[in-house]
Structure 1
Amino acid sequence: MVVDGGTETRDEPERRAAELDSREESLARREIELSRRERVADERERVADERDRIADDREQAADDREQAADDREGATAQRERERLRRVDERAERSQAAAKREDAEIRRAVAETRRGLEDRAASPDEGTAAQ
């Protein structure tokens, strides 16, 4: 059997194109998976926030029930202190959640700035050498 040298030469670009297609498909699959994981993480965060709101609502309902009972029985200083303590705890949790959110925003802004600065610095380095 005689192998045509021209056939091997023609097969090489096709093989390279197939490899590039395969790599591009692999990258696309990785990007899709990363996007899916980001959506899952975002959903987890939304669920956690909703759980916090539900817990706050439950505590508020309990506070309201206690207040109604206190109103009927005559409010006691201890119950009022407990209610205020729970209100303070809710406020602290809310502040902590806000700080976490602010930190996440600051991180995202810093990453964006770094990216912009890196892009801005690249062309400047080329012009500075001239």
Structure 2
Amino acid sequence: MNSNVENLPPHIIRLVYKEVTTLTADPPDGIKVFPNEEDLTDLQVTIEGPEGTPYAGGLFRMKLLLGKDFPASPPKGYFLTKIFHPNVGANGEICVNVLKRDWTAELGIRHVLLGTWVRALVWEDPTCRGATGPVSHNY
């Protein structure tokens, strides 16, 4: 099994398991979480495109990867569905503040998912130069 679970302390594994179980049973509106049964650090997610945005009516797949330093370090977020967006890199990497400079260990997975849904798909800050690459000149 290729997983970061064995690198996480037992209390963090319990914390992640509890939060993932809660997110699966009671997900935020427009978001569904599909845990990887073999690797708790690899979360598959679907996000509905928010109304009033160019993504309305769309269903977007993404994944969150929890590293061995989680929750001290933020998870990595990637869209698996191709999406043209200034905060999403060519490889699908999501560049929003909650996954970068605004991260704190107290934030949970739910916060990350809501931050991605609201900020990434509503174009909170279209100036994340690390993600935008060739489209950044438009903003």
Q: TM (normalized to structure 2)?
A: 0.19
Larger relative helix fraction: 1
Considering fraction of residues, name the structure with more strand: 2
Larger radius of gyration: 1
